[in-house]
Amino acid sequence: MKTLFLILFLALTTIVKAQETYTFSEVVKVEDSQKSPKSLFASAKMWFTHSFKNPKEVIILDDSENNILVGRGNMPYKSKIFSGSAAREGYITFDITIACKDGRYKYDITNFTHSGNTVNYGLITNEETLPTMTGLLAGGPKSYKIKVTNELRNSIDERIKPLIQELKSSMEKPILTKEDW
């Protein structure tokens, strides 16, 4: 069942990436190139525990056989652009995948999706304006749409870039064992 879920998730991620979603992805080599996939997997799991209030609700796939963790997080979004800000305020959800191999790991943070109080912009893309900004969600002239789209991306950057730095730092730390305390 886990394997089927993983295949479906990866297929969905591939399809979504074809739409040029806003994504953070990197393969990182750790300083200790002898660090095993199991050790890196344990470090990633510890990072989830320290980075999210309720990691059991965040982690949606915990595949210890293949050393893959998949989580779904969210962050509050409060607009600083006055016009229409109350309607846009809400949450941005995102997916995190961490896969571990000998001496390296790969993280993908993607599928950023906006859900506001009354306006939902949906999937955040790399396009100049979000594809959902049509009809009633148009919000005015193109310059306004660009401003709102950039604000959403900046809000994501402010939360995710420090999270990535915390991940990198956590993955370098040795895991304490029963003998180490």
pLDDT tens sequence across 124-177? 999 999 888 876 556 678 888 899 999 999 999 999 999 999 999 999 988 766
Residue 181 lies in a domain: no
Find out whether 69 and 59 touch, Cβ atoms under 8 Å: yes
Residue 110 lies in a domain: yes
What CATH code is carried by the domain that includes residue 160? 3.30.530.80
Residue 177 lies in a domain: no
Residue 11 lies in a domain: no
Q: Give the integer Cα–Cα distance in Å for 46 and 101.
A: 17
Question: In a structure prediction context, what are the per-residue pLDDT tens digits for the chain, which is 181 residues long?
Answer: 555 444 545 555 544 445 589 999 999 999 988 889 999 999 999 999 999 988 888 999 999 999 999 999 999 999 988 777 888 899 999 999 999 999 999 999 999 999 999 889 999 999 999 888 876 556 678 888 899 999 999 999 999 999 999 999 999 988 766 555 5
Residue 178 lies in a domain: no
Residue 93 lies in a domain: yes
- The reply to whether the predicted model has a pTM over 0.85 is no
Q: What is the DSSP string of 14-63?
A: HHHHTT-B--EEEEEE-SSTT--HHHHHHHHHHHHHHHSS-HHHHEEEEE
What domain range includes position 32?
Answer: 2-6+20-172
Residue 179 lies in a domain: no
Q: Give the integer Cα–Cα distance in Å for 117 and 55.
A: 25
Q: Report residue 156 as tokens.
A: 């994501």
Residue 13 lies in a domain: no
Task: Work out the burial of residue 52: count CB atoms within 10 Å of its CB; fewer than 13 is exposed, 13-18 middle, 19 or more buried.
Answer: middle
Residue 98's CB is within 10 A of a number of other CB atoms, namely 24
Q: Give the integer Cα–Cα distance in Å for 14 and 8.
A: 10
29 phi and psi angles, rounded to 5 deg: -90, 130
Number of domains in the chain: 1
